[in-house]
């Protein structure tokens, strides 16, 4: 396949460019008879959309989700669920000046090399806007996971070198950066605003916790839960790394330190991050992703034109100085898609 | 699918347990008319097999590869290439005492929870032995990539906290730990031997560099090169994390620092690790994986029996005190599989 | 997957119910840089839409195709091509009386048994309306095939027992039943009109010829060209059988009669239908499909209500007394999808 | 994929050429904890193997199946089940004289055109021998279907123009041609023997009945049960057509005749062949396939050499004058694979 579909038993296929008419997704394999409405999906769409706060892009996209098939009288029918969000605030003219240049950090150069043609307006298909369809589909998966007693929560752990010292899940949606530590959140916002004022951007680390997954879920070998989660996360443009449980710290631990020992009450530790051999241990599944600083900055940078001529460029437009706050719901959505898919595959394996 | 196949245009399907009769792989989608023989495949098998040095498991597996189909008179026919390695040094009795217990860090518990049944001998399907088939298939992909001018080299960057200070590709195969720094290699070997003597184990970091991939290779959105590489690497049992280019350090960089600027001669830096928007930039593709310490240690650990009763366990048997040296060829093999698959998908996209 | 996607290297995913807001399709894997516009797609949409003649359903669906992504400035970008057709003439109330009954020959009963819920309006997802997305996608494949010098033409060979005696490709689009014999066409129209007046319906046979496919195209074993074409055709609701070349007559031929012998100029016959071992021979690919009589008839029939109570039913509504004329473009579309997919897979296999 | 895998939730991948070392199959997605042994698989292998009677090829292939993984202590483990059959009676020298020629009716020409290289010995991968792996895998699916109360039986309905007048399932395995009518069987054997003596061959029709499938099984749209069965059957080399229920006769029926009406007791007829809208109706699933006459005949035929020079050829070797008796277990095996896959996909859809 050409890469716009994800999932095996629970599958999504997305379409749409940043400055096209719309973006959307077809979700196939949805359990029939489940209550789903646009309001439920919209909750997640609103968490991803721009213009939420002082630290996100001021671009005005309402991201109103429309369900055009697969739901009848408020219930899923088991047939493909199609959702679409129209694009509104497209100022393509703002991109005409970079039509013939490659913006540093953007996929302008690689897309042109791959396709020999590109829709330069707002990054086209490479735009973060493509993730709107993922979030809508993820909300459907989230609904199914709720029925299984599974909950998924991502949050900002670190931004611009400022790391959370405490973990309070209640605080996450209460601050603009979706951090789990309210004090760190204040410092993060100040850091982002200062960088934005300076025409710069910063990155961070997002952590995700998945609870309620009983032991025994996950395909072995190539489609391990951690393997699928890793693919899902690295398929998000700004993410450059992922680690599970102790992650890279495990490289400096001894076997006697890293092994999660057990007693009659269960595991004594969770260095594995809730996954061993690609299968859930029943402990909390926990992973962290590295988010690169936003590529679009207004500071002058060296680049070349499509014709090869060197030039200096300053990316104008309305961008996020740090994408962590808005990537949180995307991380959750992709995690929901992976988990629901794994549950359904488990059901297929054991069915008879 | 149930997770034993990998790849889209270039596909492999593996089978086999640690203590079964054999392990093997079917490779489908192989370019016809290519010179392939068992000797070429065996070179990679020998790099993965146990018993290579003082720091690897003494288990004697010759891992002699047999090509049973898909090659005729020394050339690939384009039909499925089947390769099999018989298991030899199976001391299943060594596992009878742990038949009713869960070894800490092993997939004993999760496999039983998933399947309701398990082949406890030598970890069964969860054994690193399953990677033998991957390495054989990866060698076939490597041969095709050589024709494309692509080279792939992985090596140990860090073991037990000892990190390489220099990078000398020629040194990699000259030392027992496959490190890129001969001095660090000496210290690593001493560290491993000391831990082995103490019945303990350690982890490390393996780095991989892919050269010769022109700009424009890689599916966008879900099947980005980095997404597929991340899945491929996390599908290797001992790997707990992956990062591309600047990786987790990118989380603490500014946009002005991380963006790879360009001039007429090309990119000035490679913080992206050779991949932007999931597509190759033409620069070296570089990534690192976190390898956990080997789970099998002889130090006593707390665990429970299958019947739930707590007990102390010491994993006897012949194990690797650090798996990094033997995981290097597996990392390369999986990277070869991902790259060849992406090249073939690119050909399909552009064909007409 | 849940069955709404088709193809491997060239993939389509459809959505939409008969009486939902819209039907549509995402086409992934489209060669970039190809001229495509809505007018070109509309030509095929118009051949499929109802209300074309006295022998098709009077339902008024304009089936205006809208391309919402994947095309920029008149050329394909290589990213997913999304096309949508809004539903207009929905008289759902006409279906309220059959909301609690199973119409004979329709999928009302099987859908309810499978999903436990159904959108009864106009057959929902089981409606022939779902094929609108296939025809739009098929037109894209047709454009790519034209560049390869491949042409695909289907036509009505037989309706209600009346069979074409001659084959004149120019006549196909000149008569209301898309028959290859103008005289037979007149008799077919009379037969259909008489049956329609009597509240009955009839079936027929549609034949398809694919020209310009050089020898050597087609995956072997499970994905043979004929296997994929058979799946594609049987996936069309009204089709109950398919045969290639001599087809069922081959069952009564001798090897000496059926084998296609060759001389220096090529094959002497084409009993194989242009496919041997699942791979094209270079001869014309030819197959025939059996089309069942339309299930919707106004004559009273026995059926049961959802509650199990027996009743008599007369299917009111606006239906096609014979679907052959409108199934012709659907057969062509599916054939185009299979062929383009096979060409792209061939390119992937041989690429290096 | 390159076409050597089949199935979605229950997947098989085959390898092997006629005159290679072995043929085999990996079955992935097998329900764990199911009793499976080689003896059970061998029953089906013996029905497919050559040398069973006076009307089958005298080639001596014992087709002894070996299970090398996926079964532990007599039970499936849920991991890939690998089965292999070694090739024994290979008289490759018998093929040296046709190394440079294309045998009429065989895939010699198309394989060379596709791959640019071919293993000419015994048709290589295009040989019916490849179906040995399918039959072994089908036996595993059959075991799972037995647990569901599903039974599948195929038989010869017609050979060389001689058609069965009666249907006695008990007779099928009692006669050499696997016909459902003992009297017709006698005539069929005589017909085949006469043709064999004359160096010729004949085709026939095989019918298959699937019982015990409740209403509601089958994916809609592209992966309908009949679509998957059609693909499965046409993927068998000698099969040139398939029809369900009334099949091609439906083309000449009226809607009032073809529609399966219902009363409180269920369906009054089964013209649909047990499938409507791609989903099972609960009635018997019934289909027929057209089997072409065996391509290998000793009568002289015209062909060309690889160098293009015309010549006369007589295919020597040990062949089946009619493949129907041996294709029966292959048809059953493929039907088993399709059904088990559809059941597992249904489980995934409805899970939770």
* Contact between D178 and D238 (Cβ < 8 Å): no
The closest CB to that of D344, out of A31, A343, A351, belongs to A351
pLDDT at C92: 64
* Contact between C232 and C138 (Cβ < 8 Å): no
Tokens encoding A12: 């999504």
User: Residue D89: is its pLDDT beyond 80?
Assistant: no
User: Residue B236: is its pLDDT beyond 70?
Assistant: yes
User: Residue C281: is its pLDDT beyond 80?
Assistant: yes
pLDDT at C83: 98
Task: Kindly report the length of chain D.
Answer: 352
Separation CA D273–CA B214 (nearest Å): 54
Tell me the nearest-neighbour CA distance from B39 into chain C, angstroms: 22
Q: Are strands C22-28 and B22-28 parallel, antiparallel or unpaired?
A: unpaired
Separation CA D154–CA D174 (nearest Å): 14
C26 to A26: CB separation less than 8 angstroms, yes or no:
yes
Q: Tell me whether B11 touches chain D (CB under 8 Å).
A: yes
A235 to B224: CB separation less than 8 angstroms, yes or no:
yes
Q: Is C293 annotated as a binding residue?
A: yes
Task: List, for residues A149-199, the tens digit of each pLDDT value.
Answer: 999 999 999 999 999 999 999 999 999 999 999 999 999 999 999 999 999
pLDDT at B92: 64
Tell me the nearest-neighbour CA distance from B18 into chain D, angstroms: 10
Q: Tell me whether B223 touches chain C (CB under 8 Å).
A: no
Task: Kindly report the length of chain C.
Answer: 352
Q: Tell me whether D110 touches chain B (CB under 8 Å).
A: no
Separation CA B119–CA B112 (nearest Å): 9
Q: Tell me whether D115 touches chain B (CB under 8 Å).
A: yes
Q: Give the residue-averaged pLDDT of C142-161.
A: 98
Between residues B345 and C119, the one the model is more confident about: B345
Task: List, for residues B334-345, the tens digit of each pLDDT value.
Answer: 999 999 999 999
Tell me the nearest-neighbour CA distance from D233 into chain A, angstroms: 24
A78 to D349: CB separation less than 8 angstroms, yes or no:
yes
Neighbours of chain C (3+ CB pairs under 8 A): A, B, D
Tokens encoding C184: 């037979």
C78 to B344: CB separation less than 8 angstroms, yes or no:
no
What sign has the CA pseudo-torsion C94, C95, C101, C102? positive
* Contact between B328 and B47 (Cβ < 8 Å): yes
**Paired strand residues for B85:** B23
C15 to A26: CB separation less than 8 angstroms, yes or no:
yes
Mean pLDDT score across all residues of chain D: 94
User: Residue B33: is its pLDDT beyond 80?
Assistant: yes
Separation CA B49–CA C18 (nearest Å): 59
Instruction: Give the rounded distance of the alpha carbon of C332 from its chain centre.
Output: 6
Question: CB-based contacts of D298: which residues, under 8 Å, 6+ apart?
Answer: D199, D314, D315, D316
Residues of D in contact with C126 (CB under 8 A): 220, 277
- Looking at the structure of chain A, the number of domains it has is 1
pLDDT at D90: 66
How sure is the predictor about D317, in pLDDT bands with cuts at 50, 70 and 90?
low
Helix axes C225-234, C324-350, angle to 10 degrees: 150
D251 to C205: CB separation less than 8 angstroms, yes or no:
yes
Task: List, for residues B107-125, the tens digit of each pLDDT value.
Answer: 999 999 999 998 777 778 8
Annotated binding site of A: 48, 125-127, 277, 292-296, 318
Task: List, for residues D27-51, the tens digit of each pLDDT value.
Answer: 999 999 999 999 999 999 999 988 8
Separation CA D82–CA C223 (nearest Å): 21
Separation CA D56–CA B54 (nearest Å): 59
Residues of B in contact with C348 (CB under 8 A): 9-10, 29, 344-345, 347-348, 351
Instruction: Give the rounded distance of the alpha carbon of A209 from its chain centre.
Output: 14
User: Residue C91: is its pLDDT beyond 70?
Assistant: no
Q: Tell me whether C23 touches chain A (CB under 8 Å).
A: yes
* Contact between B223 and A174 (Cβ < 8 Å): no
CA–CA–CA angle A287, A291, A292 (5° rounding): 155
User: Residue A30: is its pLDDT beyond 90?
Assistant: yes
The closest CB to that of B8, out of D1, D9, D66, belongs to D1
pLDDT at C317: 66
Which 3 state secondary structure label does DSSP give A303?
Answer: strand
pLDDT at A20: 83
pLDDT at A99: 83
**How is residue B64 annotated by DSSP?**
-
Between residues D134 and D59, the one the model is more confident about: D134
User: Residue C89: is its pLDDT beyond 90?
Assistant: no
User: Residue C120: is its pLDDT beyond 90?
Assistant: no
D343 to A350: CB separation less than 8 angstroms, yes or no:
no
How sure is the predictor about D277, in pLDDT bands with cuts at 50, 70 and 90?
very high
Q: Is C47 annotated as a binding residue?
A: no
Residues of D in contact with C232 (CB under 8 A): 222, 227
Backbone angles phi, psi at D129, to 5 degrees: -60, -30
What is the end-to-end Cα distance of chain D in Å, rounded?
Answer: 31
Q: Is B92 annotated as a binding residue?
A: no
Task: List, for residues B238-292, the tens digit of each pLDDT value.
Answer: 999 999 999 999 999 999 999 999 999 999 999 999 999 999 999 999 999 999 9
pLDDT at C153: 98
Backbone angles phi, psi at B247, to 5 degrees: 55, -130
Mean pLDDT score across all residues of chain A: 94
Q: Give the residue-averaged pLDDT of A15-28.
A: 92
Q: Give the residue-averaged pLDDT of C153-179.
A: 97
B344 to C343: CB separation less than 8 angstroms, yes or no:
no
Task: List, for residues D264-274, the tens digit of each pLDDT value.
Answer: 999 999 999 99
Task: Work out the percent of chain C whose per-residue pLDDT is above 90.
Answer: 84
Q: Give the residue-averaged pLDDT of C85-107.
A: 81
Instruction: Give the rounded distance of the alpha carbon of A249 from its chain centre.
Output: 24
Alpha helices in chain B (DSSP H): 38-48, 108-115, 131-147, 182-197, 225-234, 255-258, 324-350
User: Residue A92: is its pLDDT beyond 70?
Assistant: no
Q: Count H helices, E strands: chain B?
A: 7, 18
**Paired strand residues for D35:** D75
Q: Tell me whether B147 touches chain C (CB under 8 Å).
A: yes
Task: List, for residues C218-246, the tens digit of each pLDDT value.
Answer: 998 999 999 999 999 999 999 999 999 99
Neighbours of chain B (3+ CB pairs under 8 A): A, C, D
Task: List, for residues D206-253, the tens digit of each pLDDT value.
Answer: 999 999 999 999 998 999 999 999 999 999 999 999 999 999 999 999
Specify the pTM.
Answer: 0.97
Q: Tell me whether A8 touches chain B (CB under 8 Å).
A: yes
Which 3 state secondary structure label does DSSP give B279?
Answer: strand
Question: CB-based contacts of D243: which residues, under 8 Å, 6+ apart?
Answer: C240, C241, C242, C243, C248, C290, D287, D288
Q: Is C296 annotated as a binding residue?
A: yes
Q: A102 lies in which domain range?
A: 5-351
Task: Kindly report the length of chain A.
Answer: 352
Q: Which CATH number does the domain housing residue A56 bear?
A: 3.60.150.10
pLDDT at B104: 94
Tell me the nearest-neighbour CA distance from C325 into chain D, angstroms: 14
* Contact between C291 and C204 (Cβ < 8 Å): yes
The closest CB to that of C234, out of D230, D254, D346, belongs to D230
B148 to C344: CB separation less than 8 angstroms, yes or no:
no
Q: Tell me whether A115 touches chain C (CB under 8 Å).
A: yes
């Amino acid at each position: 396949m050409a890469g716009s579909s994800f999932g095996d038993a629970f599958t999504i296929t997305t379409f749409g460019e940043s400055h096209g008419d719309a973006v959307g997704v077809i979700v196939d394999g949805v359990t029939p008879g489940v209550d789903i409405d646009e309001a439920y999906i919209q909750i997640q769409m609103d968490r991803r959309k721009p213009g939420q706060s002082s630290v996100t892009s001021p671009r005005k996209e309402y991201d109103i989700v429309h369900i055009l098939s697969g739901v009848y009288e408020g219930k899923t029918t088991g047939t493909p669920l199609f959702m679409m969000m129209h694009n509104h605030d497209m100022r393509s003219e703002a991109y005409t000046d970079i039509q013939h240049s490659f913006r540093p950090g953007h996929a302008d150069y690689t897309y042109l090399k791959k396709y020999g043609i590109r829709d330069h307006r707002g990054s086209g298909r490479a735009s973060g806007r493509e993730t709107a369809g993922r979030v809508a589909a993820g909300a459907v998966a989230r609904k199914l996971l709720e029925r299984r007693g599974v909950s998924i929560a991502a949050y900002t752990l670190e931004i611009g070198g400022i790391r959370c010292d405490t973990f309070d899940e209640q605080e996450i949606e209460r601050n603009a950066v979706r951090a789990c530590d309210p004090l760190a959140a204040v410092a993060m916002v100040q850091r982002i605003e200062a960088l934005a004022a300076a025409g710069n951007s910063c990155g961070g680390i997002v952590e995700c916790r998945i609870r309620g997954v009983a032991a025994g879920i996950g395909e072995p070998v190539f489609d391990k839960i951690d393997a699928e989660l890793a693919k899902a996360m690295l398929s998000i443009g700004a993410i450059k790394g992922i680690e599970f449980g102790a992650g890279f710290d495990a490289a400096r631990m001894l076997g006697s330190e890293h092994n999660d020992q057990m007693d009659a009450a269960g595991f004594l530790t969770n260095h594995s991050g809730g996954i061993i051999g690609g299968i859930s241990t029943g402990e909390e599944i926990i992973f962290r992703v590295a988010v690169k600083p936003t590529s679009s900055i207004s500071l002058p940078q060296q680049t070349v034109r499509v014709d090869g001529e060197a030039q200096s460029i300053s990316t104008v437009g309305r961008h996020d100085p740090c994408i962590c706050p808005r990537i949180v719901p995307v991380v959750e959505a992709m995690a929901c898609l992976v988990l629901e898919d794994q549950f359904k595959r488990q059901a297929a394996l054991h069915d008879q």
